[in-house]
Amino acid sequence: MQVNIKYGRGEIGVDVPDSNLVSILTSQNFPPIEDPNQAVWNALETPIDSPPLSEIAKNRKSATVVISDITRPVPNKIILPPILQIIEEQGVPRDEIRILIATGIHRPNEGDELLEMVGSQIMGNYQILNHFSQQPETLINLGQTQNGTPVLLNRLYVESDLKIISALIEPHLMAGYSGGRKAICPGLASIDTMKIMHGPEILEHPKATVGILEGNPFHSEATEIALMAGVDFSLNVTINDRRQLTGIFAGDMVNAHLAGAEFAEKQTRATLSEPVDAVIVSCAGYPLDTTFYQAIKGVLAAIEVVKKGGMVILIAECQEGIGSGPFTDLILKTKNLEQFVHDIYNPKNFVIDQWQLEELAKAVRKADVYFYSNKIPYEQQKKLFVTPLKSPNEGVKIALQKYGKDAKIVAIPEGPYVLAQTK
């Protein structure tokens, strides 16, 4: 049968023999919220373990509302208007309200991207700023965590009178689940903070992985940092494969996020009885598959259900190429992944975006990665620790050759949005 895999803003068909296709793993078919606009209002007025936003916003002189960057399909056009309206109704002047994009160490979002994210009405009436992790003048030092992580965060946010965060909750390759505290760390953190948070001491921990919060050092450290910064109110959402709202979790940063993560686990968990020979996976199409850097998240989703010595067939458009300049330079010059992981234990060898290459190293320890993209030159793909494919169907043929006519194959059309596991 033909399996449709998310690719860029569309789909690409992959032919898999019926006898070999074990399953197509998707998130659970949770219904969309019937009236999302009203549901957001309700969540803001009846939050989890928190007074209503209208009460919290009283007598505040300034406000900062944190949103995710373009790599997260958060429905800002639905969730932002009620938040902004409440803030203004409680007396905060519009010129003292700022929308701050939690870029982490990603590039800024401007122009058409910004329009896509928030819409013309908000873009034309509110000040919207990007966080820059490497501009010292925009950061403030809050000291250290109990474990000694330096806490340097966006000054505008920390010094704001009213602090509101928003995000999408989904399975995350190192934080367990996105959302909540991640809006602050890495969202508003400095590069010096992220050298520790994305360093091997944390990321090589067995519980710094998808679907795990308890005992996850990334989660606990990021939570401590967010609490140091202060969060007056949070609003997190979950979405289905059609980008429709399925859940809204507002209120206390910690408890509302935990409630959202529990919901997300139920919505996204897909279980196999045993690992399979090959997994066909995407990075859920646009916006996550714009670069190979982001597409690695698809590999990490698949690696949970592939057998040792199996193969992952990654399908990602990568319209912006490999990734940032530092990541592109790093991966193209790296010759041996295990030597690379060994070397980055020395902080002097730190390179921006090294953690994504470290995550790829985790994956290739278990399985071979095959890759299809029509945007990254074929010869360049050979340097990405993957085997390039001229078509997705070529990957299926290779799987049948490697594992025989009874090869077991699974497809995950939206990899990062599915918590794929074996029993």
Query: Residue 83's pLDDT is what?
Result: 98
Query: Residue 350's pLDDT is what?
Result: 85
DSSP of 38-57: HHHHHHHHS-BSS--HHHHT
8 A C-beta contact, residue 239 and residue 73: yes
Query: Residue 349's pLDDT is what?
Result: 84
Both tokens assigned to 332: 């193209």
Q: What is the pTM of this model?
A: 0.88
Buried-exposed string 385-406: b where 16+ CB fall within 10 A, e elsewhere: bbbbbeebbebbebbbeebeee
Measure Cα distances from 51 to 43, 60, 146, 250 in Å.
11, 15, 29, 10
Query: Residue 225's pLDDT is what?
Result: 98
For residue 107, give the DSSP letter: P
Domain spanning 36-239 has what CATH number?
3.40.50.11440
Give 61-86 pLDDT, tens digit per residue: 999 999 999 888 899 999 999 999 99
Q: Residue 423: pLDDT above 90?
A: no
H or E stretch covering 262 = helix 253-268
Instruction: Report how far residue 134's alpha carbon sits from residue 152's, in angstroms, rounded to the nearest whole number.
Output: 10
Query: Residue 221's pLDDT is what?
Result: 98
Helix, strand and coil percent figures for the chain, each rounded to 5:
40, 25, 35
Q: Residue 416: pLDDT above 90?
A: no
Instruction: Report how far residue 33's alpha carbon sits from residue 19's, in angstroms, rounded to the nearest whole number.
Output: 37
What stretches of 62-160 show up as alpha helix (H) in DSSP?
76-89, 111-118, 120-125, 155-158
Q: Is 276 helix (H, G, I), strand (E, B) or coil?
A: strand
Q: Do domains 2-27+269-422 and 36-239 have the same CATH topology?
A: no
Q: Return the CATH fold of 2-27+269-422.
A: 2-enoyl-CoA Hydratase; Chain A, domain 1 (3.90.226)
Instruction: Report how far residue 30's alpha carbon sits from residue 266's, in angstroms, rounded to the nearest whole number.
Output: 9
8 A C-beta contact, residue 301 and residue 359: no
Cα angle value 392/396/401 (rounded, 5°): 140
Domain edges within the chain: 2-27+269-422, 36-239
Query: Residue 37's pLDDT is what?
Result: 96
| Close Cβ partners of 325 (under 8 Å, ≥ 6 residues apart) | none
Task: Please identify which residue in the block is written with the tokens 């990899």.
Answer: 415
Instruction: Report how far residue 361's alpha carbon sits from residue 345's, in angstroms, rounded to the nearest whole number.
Output: 14
Instruction: Report how far residue 218's alpha carbon sits from residue 83's, in angstroms, rounded to the nearest whole number.
Output: 29
Who has greater pLDDT, 18 or 241?
A: 18
Q: pLDDT confidence of 389, banded at 50, 70, 90?
A: very high
Instruction: Report how far residue 6's alpha carbon sits from residue 229's, in angstroms, rounded to the nearest whole number.
Output: 37
**Mean model confidence pLDDT for the chain:** 95
Q: Residue 39: pLDDT above 90?
A: yes
For residue 189, give the DSSP letter: B
